């Protein structure tokens, strides 16, 4: 192969990217290399819980970089200990393993469940996951996912995953057999288009898994760290899972993820789990800065209020343009467009300097910074209103 002609061509072409190059971010805004400003309601796919380049995270990383970057995961370091303690203190879990991505944390959760099966359940290894679910892009997490488009890819998949239907307890019951060790789900299916599990379904799953001695695993990579108005989504249903994974928001934009488990579920033995960068103090410093802010009740209250405001504004917009329901919770919301016009709306919005996401052809997903202001929400709504008006006019002409 010859040297790539344009820097764009030096990157593997793994997705259709618009030919825009971002060079700076601050709060809810991004700037490209031509100086154009964009209002960002994607925020790195629900990653930047405090917006772009939040000073608290930037300062924590800079200070940590000057102090200690990576001593080796074979030693303790004070920053990861402090973050692990903070997560344990604020959750129903007893132990934490830090990872570098959501998929890696979920891979760890799958391994931990299989380990539990071998230690306590006579070698049971099957995990019940859900149609439409998304757990990452490693081979095991793609196999655990219930995303249709993954089905023909990279065969043979990792075996041992059976897919139930979200909010259908009977479909879960029917899959339980002596090999089953766990049930794993996202409390709100994000990539599938923001489809929430009901709190009652989550409570029923807890009762069912308890009855059968199974682990309940929550993938809170998208819903955790305040995204739905509580620090962790499981709090809404007032239940305690056995295992939870965190990613995205936990690092405030820095690559950090975590696998949390209760004392009983936390059964790895030496040699079962590890990784060179796991628990490195540089990223854990970012995590500490995030939890110190996001973990405060007043911060969660204001994120929750912002979510309610966004939801009501989207409902107003939906009524005005004859669109469908608004679903989701907190600052993870979707607007049903009723027609497959998501990609066109995203493109139109982008040309106006508004970044939106369409996880499914007929839906828009909103995942702004958790400290997004009412003014920024109104600015987004006005921009989207404009785009929808033009789209409606175009439809009428056609």
The residues binding ligand PLP (CB under 6 A) are 45, 101-103, 106, 134-136, 186, 190-191, 219, 221-222, 247
| Cβ closest to ligand PLP, residue 136 vs residue 196 | 136
Least distance between ligand PLP and beta carbon 41 (Å):
16
> Would you give the DSSP letter of residue 187?
S
Residue 26 and residue 50: Cα distance in Å, rounded? 10
Give the residue among 172, 164, 135 at the shortest CA–CA distance from 150.
Answer: 135
Least distance between ligand PLP and beta carbon 83 (Å):
17
Cis peptide before 240 (omega within 30 of 0): no
**How would DSSP label each residue in 179-242?**
TEEEEEE-SEETTTT-EEPPHHHHHHHHHHHHHHT-EEEEE-TTTTTTTTSSSSTHHHHT---S
| Cβ closest to ligand PLP, residue 246 vs residue 282 | 246
Least distance between ligand PLP and beta carbon 175 (Å):
21
Which tokens belong to 369?
Answer: 């910074």
Least distance between ligand PLP and beta carbon 106 (Å):
6
| Cβ closest to ligand PLP, residue 121 vs residue 135 | 135
What is residue 324's three-state secondary structure? Answer: coil
Least distance between ligand PLP and beta carbon 134 (Å):
5
Which residue has tokens 């890819």? Answer: 153
Query: Do residues 17 and 344 touch, judged by C-beta distance below 8 A?
Result: no
When CB distances to ligand PLP are compared, the closest residue is 102
Pairing of strands 326-329, 215-219: unpaired
| Cβ closest to ligand PLP, residue 140 vs residue 285 | 140
| Cβ closest to ligand PLP, residue 166 vs residue 341 | 166
| Cβ closest to ligand PLP, residue 368 vs residue 383 | 368
Least distance between ligand PLP and beta carbon 107 (Å):
9
Least distance between ligand PLP and beta carbon 53 (Å):
19
What is residue 35's three-state secondary structure? Answer: coil
| Cβ closest to ligand PLP, residue 55 vs residue 274 | 274
Residue 125 and residue 122: Cα distance in Å, rounded? 9
């Amino acid at each position: 192969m010859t040297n790539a002609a344009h820097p764009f061509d030096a990157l593997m072409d793994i997705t259709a990217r618009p030919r825009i190059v971002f060079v700076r971010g601050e709060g809810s805004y991004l700037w490209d290399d031509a100086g154009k400003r964009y209002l960002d309601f994607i925020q790195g796919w629900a990653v930047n819980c405090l917006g772009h380049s939040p000073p608290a995270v930037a300062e924590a990383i800079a200070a940590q970089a000057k102090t200690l970057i990576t001593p080796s995961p074979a030693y303790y370091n004070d920053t990861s200990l402090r973050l692990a303690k903070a997560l344990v203190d604020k959750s129903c879990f007893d132990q934490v393993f830090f990872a570098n991505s959501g998929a890696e944390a979920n891979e760890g959760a799958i391994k931990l469940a299989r380990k539990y099966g071998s230690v306590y359940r006579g070698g049971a290894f099957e995990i019940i996951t859900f149609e439409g679910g998304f757990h990452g892009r490693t081979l095991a997490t793609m196999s655990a996912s219930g995303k249709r488009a993954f089905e023909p890819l990279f065969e043979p998949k990792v075996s041992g995953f059976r897919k139930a239907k979200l909010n259908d307890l009977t479909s879960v019951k029917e899959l339980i057999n002596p090999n089953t060790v766990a049930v794993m789900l996202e409390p709100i299916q994000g990539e599938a288009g923001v489809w929430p599990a009901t709190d009652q379904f989550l409570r029923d799953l807890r009762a069912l898994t308890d009855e059968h001695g199974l682990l309940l695993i929550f993938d809170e990579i998208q819903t955790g760290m305040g995204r739905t108005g509580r620090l962790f989504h499981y709090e809404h249903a007032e239940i305690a899972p056995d295992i939870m994974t965190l990613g995205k928001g936990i690092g405030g934009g820095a690559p950090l993820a975590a696998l949390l488990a209760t004392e009983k579920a936390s059964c790895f033995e030496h040699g079962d789990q590890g990784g060179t960068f796991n628990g490195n103090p540089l990223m854990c410093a970012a995590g500490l800065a995030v939890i110190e802010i996001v973990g405060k009740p007043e911060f969660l209250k204001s994120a929750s209020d912002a979510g309610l405001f966004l939801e009501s504004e989207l409902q107003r917009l939906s009524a005005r343009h004859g669109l469908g329901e608004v679903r989701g919770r907190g600052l993870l919301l979707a607007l049903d467009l009723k027609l497959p016009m998501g990609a066109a709306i995203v493109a139109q919005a982008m040309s106006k300097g508004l970044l939106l996401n369409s996880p499914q052809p007929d839906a828009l997903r909103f995942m702004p910074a958790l400290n997004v202001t009412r003014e920024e929400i109104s600015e987004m709504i006005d921009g989207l209103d404009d785009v929808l008006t033009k789209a409606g006019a175009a439809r009428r002409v056609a």
